[in-house]
Amino acid sequence: MVYHIAVCENDPNCAVQLQKMMEEILAGRRMAFSCDRYTACEQLEAAVMSPGTQHHILFLDTVLDGKDGVAFAEKLRDSGLRSPIVFISSDEKSALAAYAAAPVHYLLRPVRKQELHTALCRAFRQYEDGSVCIIETAGRGITVLAVCDIFYLEVFNKMILVHCRDGGTLTAAGPLTDFFRRLPAGRFYACHRCYVVNFSCVRRLRRNEFVLEDGSVIPVARRRYQDALCAWKNYLEEEKMI
Strand partners, 153: 162, 196
∠ CA 60-65-71, rounded to 5°:
50
One of 3.40.1180.10, 3.40.50.720, 3.40.50.360, 3.40.50.2300 is the CATH number of 3-129, namely 3.40.50.2300
Q: What is the spatial distance between Cα 111 and Cα 152, in angstroms, rounded to a whole number?
A: 37
By the 8 A CB rule, do 38 and 44 touch? yes
Half-sphere exposure of 228 (CA within 13 A, CB side): 26
Q: Tell me the angle at which helices 225-241 and 113-130 cross, rounded to the nearest 10 degrees.
A: 100
State pLDDT tens for residues 121-173: 999 999 998 899 999 887 778 999 999 999 999 999 999 999 999 999 999 98
What does the pLDDT profile of the chain (242 residues) look like in tens digits? 899 999 999 899 999 999 999 999 998 777 889 999 999 999 999 999 888 888 999 999 998 888 899 999 999 999 999 999 999 998 877 766 777 788 999 999 999 999 999 999 999 999 998 899 999 887 778 999 999 999 999 999 999 999 999 999 999 988 999 999 999 988 999 999 999 999 999 999 998 999 999 999 999 999 999 999 999 999 999 888 77
Q: Tell me the angle at which helices 69-78 and 41-49 cross, rounded to the nearest 10 degrees.
A: 20
Q: Per CATH, is 132-241 categorized as 3.40.50.800?
A: no
Q: Is 3-129's fold the same as 132-241's?
A: no
Q: What is the spatial distance between Cα 36 and Cα 21, in angstroms, rounded to a whole number?
A: 14
pTM here? Answer: 0.86
Domain limits, the chain? 3-129, 132-241
